[in-house]
Amino acid sequence: MSAIYDCVVVGGGPSGATAATDLARAGHRVALLDRAGRIKPCGGAIPPKLIRDFAIPDHLIVGRVVAARMIAPSDAMVDMPVDRFGGDGFVGMVDRDTFDEWLRERAALAGAERRTGRFDRIERDTDGGAVVVYTAHADGAERRIATRCVIGADGARSRVARGTIAGADRMPCVFAYHEVIRSPVADDAAFDRRRCDVFYQAALSPDFYAWVFPHGDTASVGVGSAVKGFGLREAVARLRSRNHLAGCETIRSEGAPIPLRPLRKWDNGRDVLVTGDAAGVVAPASGEGIYYAMVAGQESARAVDLFLVTGKPRALAQARKRFMRAHGQVFWILGIMQYFWYHNDRRRERFVTMCDDRDVQRMLWPAYMNKQLVYANPLAYLRIFMKDMRYLLQTAGATR
């Protein structure tokens, strides 16, 4: 069977849709296969850099957040305004239902052919070429697509990755669950349409965090945890009750695993490459995934384009190499932070206290908003280091 597509992208979330768009724009024949009606649980926050770099139109921004509130186990609160150090920036909020569909439509406008169905497996034709087998959504029939290359962007438990890449089935994950609710008519102390609330409390999540993120007329109320048997739905119910959100209409609910670290290998050395959650590119500690998924999709498209032009499978490895060169250090630091500060409520209490520090906020906001550190004040970094050491030593002493 001769290949009729240059690439089949499995999964139409931010990473897969971005990869399909870039490959189609480069002149390749692309099929984008996506399951119907599948929405990932997500707070929906996107930084200004994503909005700029990926040309996100204003109508998709359903909310503009200007502050974050961190809530400690003791219920102590630390507010972190975006504009505390100048500027009038905001964090954009999107609804994944409409945001992801818009990205898929952009891919189609660029020339990608959309297919709707459930990915089943990759087979090989008589020449050794890849054949994507899927069950069509419209009629339940099994169908095949011959292709030169496959990009797996089908989530943290990626069937593409598990079937082609060693070790993919051992990816550690946090399981997330959220409910999208109708926002209260009036804002109050417990809910503000221009503020994201993050709860670092064992009663809501023993090893991660819970959140209330506003989306204009709706809001995402959710929780994540890797502790087996922890009641995520019950935790969300407690969170809604304590924040006077129990009576708000529930529009939909979703649950899914979220990866904790990138896979060591993203390709099979032949003609398959994974990206997004399938590759594990969700930032530890923060759980931020949309920006990193789209950047990974971009890098995957570049690598596949090189593979298609040169015919050299080693080109596929460039996607992970370039991504980790740009973001690997941030993932490493955030991983250490999650491991230490989320360990118990005593440490979470100190973590929230540390976030009240102006030097810490001066570093964190630019790093999040523009994905770059601010090096203008080296003394501030020295102060942060000394404060971190003090908190660490105090915490270590308290846990002996």
- Total count of residues recorded for the chain: 400
pTM above 0.85, yes or no: yes
Give the three-state DSSP class for 369: helix
Q: How far is CA 241 from CA 35, 235, 238, 246, 247, in A?
A: 34, 10, 5, 5, 8
Angle of CA points 347, 352, 354, to nearest 5°:
95
Buried b (16+ CB within 10 A) or exposed e, 288-313: bbbbbbbbbbbbbbbbbbbbbeeeeb
pLDDT in tens, the chain (400 residues): 556 899 999 999 999 999 999 999 999 999 999 998 778 888 899 999 999 999 999 999 999 999 999 999 999 999 999 876 545 589 999 999 999 999 999 999 999 999 999 999 999 999 999 999 999 999 999 999 999 999 999 999 999 999 999 989 988 899 999 999 999 988 777 899 999 999 999 999 999 999 999 999 999 999 999 998 999 999 999 999 999 999 999 999 999 999 988 999 999 999 999 999 999 999 888 888 999 999 999 999 999 999 999 999 999 999 999 999 999 888 888 888 888 888 889 999 988 988 888 777 777 777 788 776 544 454 444 454 455 545 555 554 554 4
Buried b (16+ CB within 10 A) or exposed e, 367-389: ebbebeeeeeeeebeeebeeeee
